[in-house]
Amino acid sequence: MYVALLFLIGIFKVSCQSFCKSSAENVGFKVATFCQNSVASGSSAIIDGYAAHGTDTDKTCPCSATVSIPNNGTSSLAFSAFFSLHPQYNGCGSSIDVRVNNSGQSTRIRCTIAGSISVNNGDNVLIDLKKESSPEDTRYCMKLQFSDPTATLTVKCNGENVPVPPTQSASTATTTTTVLTQPSITSSNRTAALSTSTLSSTILQK
């Protein structure tokens, strides 16, 4: 019975992690998170917007990336959807603004992640997630990748821990340090969650 309870707790913890973050970390990527104090560095990095989806975070969540290229070089910095994780439909109600602070070069990503910018050694790239209108879908799993394999970047995002979404109970919030949202919630998922909750209560009563 005790083993079964631990198993259910393990399932609950996995389900509350961001799908973007867990998927990226499973294959070795460093992940920074929009709307949370977080850092990721390397030759490539992931910025996770899933944690901000369906929560009462700020309307604008800033991140910045500091670029390092040997010999004062230049490189293209490309943006793509890791594992094809992005809203990818018109009217998602959010965008990501990217601007190179040194040169003023900028681009806007809205609902579908694509594009690239040219960066130099020492550039600071500002990357802001913006909630613009309903449904404020921020489920972006944004991969940053240089064309120059020797280039590296350090991504820093600002914000507090994401508050518990309205659909989560107070007792659920105390089981983990930070509760993150899943990619989507369907009626079948809700039914499964209720079944898990009922099973957990039955085990505890025994």
pLDDT digits (tens, 9 = 90+) for 75-121: 999 999 999 999 999 999 999 999 999 999 999 999 999 999 999 99
Please give the structure tokens belonging to residue 98.
Answer: 């990217």
Name 62's bridge partners: 128
Q: Is the pTM of this model over 0.75?
A: no
Q: How much is the mean pLDDT over the chain?
A: 79
Residue 146 has pLDDT above 60, yes or no: yes
Predicted pLDDT at 58 = 80
Q: Which one is predicted more confidently, 8 or 36? A: 36
Look up tokens 């899933």; give the residue: 50
Residues 148/71, Cβ–Cβ less than 8 Å: no
Q: Which one is predicted more confidently, 9 or 97? A: 97
